[in-house]
Copies of this chain bind each other. A is one copy, B any other.
Amino acid sequence: MKKFTAIREECCEANRALPNTGLVDLTFGNVSVLDAAAGVFAIKPSGVAYAKLKPADMVLVDLDGKIVAGQLRPSSDAPTHRILFRAFSGVRSIVHTHSRHAVAFAQAAREIPNLGTTHADYFDGPVPLTRALTPAEIARDYEGETGNVIVERFRNLNPLDVPAALVRHHGVFVWGISAAKALETAQALEAIAQMALWTLQLRPAAPPIPTALHKKHFRRKHGPAAYYGQKANRL
């Protein structure tokens, strides 16, 4: 039987790193990592303290939601991760947090506007907000439907260019091509949410970054013309 050692280790390391990022309180956060060829992802077990996690504790789940291996229950958010992996081709890792400033935007039902170059370095536009789930959706399959409203919101967006969503009344899901990159984006997201809150306090009708500046910054870091960082490390 296949052991999926690589994704268990990448997943465990990223989950253990979560508390040091300042993005999670208590056990409010989890990371998953996909083996795309096998259609299996590793995810944090539910309600376990981060510091105690070992690679063998990671729960393996396939893209139909079946638990492939693991003694513990997976994160209760596993169905959301599963829906996103199925829908968002190229995404290899997903981070879920209740990072505090991003949650404030989600609770206020406001997208995070693109107000500056820090934002533009990571997101090709505002960080989108999902619609509210209906009572029927909540009753039927709450965590799965949470994934579905994210996918619905991205119908006209490229998830690799806008690698995060605010889930209304809840928190954030962030993704990327590796757990390290998804974690980095989750940290950038919280920083831009904080700076956006303060910017809006200083100027409630602050205009977004001009398009030319936004595109310049995004393309400095992404795509064929990128020139930020060292060639070997560019993503």
Contact = CB atoms under 8 A, between A and B. Distances in A.
A198 B116 contact: no
Given A117-B169, A198-B100, A110 B25 contact: no
B194 A100 contact: yes
Nearest to A115: B107
A230 B52 CA distance: 14
A86 interface: no
Given A108-B202, A210-B132, A118 B171 contact: yes
- Contact residues on A (Cβ < 8 Å of other chain), bracket: 35 or more
A142 B215 CA distance: 12
B197 A228 contact: no
A6 interface: no
B171 A47 contact: no
Contacts of A212: 133, 135, 138-139
